[in-house]
Structure 1
Amino acid sequence: MEKKIGAYMSQIDNELAMKDEPVMRSGNEPPLDEHQKLYGFGGWLYFVVIGLLLTFGNSLYYLLTTLLPIYKDGLISDLQSENGNYLVLIIYETVTYLFYVLFPLYVGYLGFKKMKRVRTMIICFYLLNFAFNVGYYFVANSIEELASPDFIGEQGRNIVKSLITCIVWIPYFINSKRVKCTYVN
């Protein structure tokens, strides 16, 4: 009797294993054919990568041509003796532009590995960019010589541009099916 029950149970297991039933899904993933179509780098992600490459190149150029000579030529001590706020501004710019050089490299590495953290890191990048622009506005505004209407207006435009960037790209990285299908590791 036990042999019959065992044989019957194994037959049921085999029949269940062979059934072509849909796989349980959480509901957040697109259908498989759409998932396969959206997997991989493409679409709007090209614009994000172009932006990161431009940020990296521009920031590296600024560090090497503008900030590095200030440190090498001893201008930093002259600026500090003239107005202590200049020192704060130069250090703020140095830290910010180092971030703009190193962070895109890190995000690029995560992107090549197709890590899930890319989404979070890009969102953090855009939020930090906005915060850096707001901070730069206040630091630069504390120096009377820099507080001209043209300079402050330019910094205000930078704040608005970074805010628009956040408004556009953060929801994209949160809701995009391509991003969810591409960065899976």
Structure 2
Amino acid sequence: MGTMMPTDNGTEIRLNHPSGLGGWMVLVQIGLYLSVIRLLFMVFNTMIPSFQPDIWDTLTSPDSSVYDPLWKPALIFEAVVNITFVLFSIFLLVQMYRKKSTFPRWIIFYYVMNLIMLIIDYVLMANIELVQQMDEGGSMQDIGRLIISCAIWVPYFLRSKRVRNTFVN
């Protein structure tokens, strides 16, 4: 059975079971850091330039040859979602290193919401003619990767002994 040790919140952990941020949790940490970097890169190299007056006007003005009424909501949606996910990723890193007991629920929410937001973004962008012409299937690959990611990480955070023994504060 193993020796039990009480934690601050009244739960107990088994001393002979894995705990800490090692094992598969290393991949979660790397993934969160890469998400912050990737999203910041996207915000600064794609989103912010899209809101420059010349590009914004080209995409959102009815007189433009590339105008589509969905450009404005799609660009605003992407900007809000990307900035929110940068902040959410940083929040998760802080929660993880503090070993907060709420971290597993928050990261599951993060994975699922990431998938939902990507699907919404895909639907929005797929209805813009210019994007349809340029799409090479990358968005569907991203959705597929996120489905696989959710299929791996959600059960991990729900069932892992390491997770149960680590996030106790």
TM-score above 0.5, yes or no: yes
Q: Does 1:71 pair with 2:51?
A: yes
TM-score by length of 2: 0.84
Task: Find 2:117's aligned residue among 104, 112, 132.
Answer: 132
Indicate the SS of the match to 2:155: helix
Q: Which has the higher helix share?
A: 1
The Cα of 1:70 is off from its aligned counterpart by 2.1
Q: CA RMSD in A?
A: 2.1
Give me the identity figure in percent. Answer: 29
Distance 1:172 1:181 in 2: 13
2:155 match: 171
Distance 2:26 2:33 in 1: 11
Distance 2:109 2:54 in 1: 34
The Cα of 1:85 is off from its aligned counterpart by 0.8
The code of the aligned residue for 1:175 comes to: R
1:115 match: 100
After superposing on structure 2, the runs of 4+ consecutive aligned residues of structure 1 that deviate more than 6 Å are none
CA radius of gyration, larger in: 1
Name the count of aligned residue pairs.
157
The Cα of 1:111 is off from its aligned counterpart by 1.2
1:40 match: 20
Conserved in 2, the CA contact under 8 Å of 1:115 and 1:183? yes
Conserved in 2, the CA contact under 8 Å of 1:137 and 1:152? no
2:64 match: none
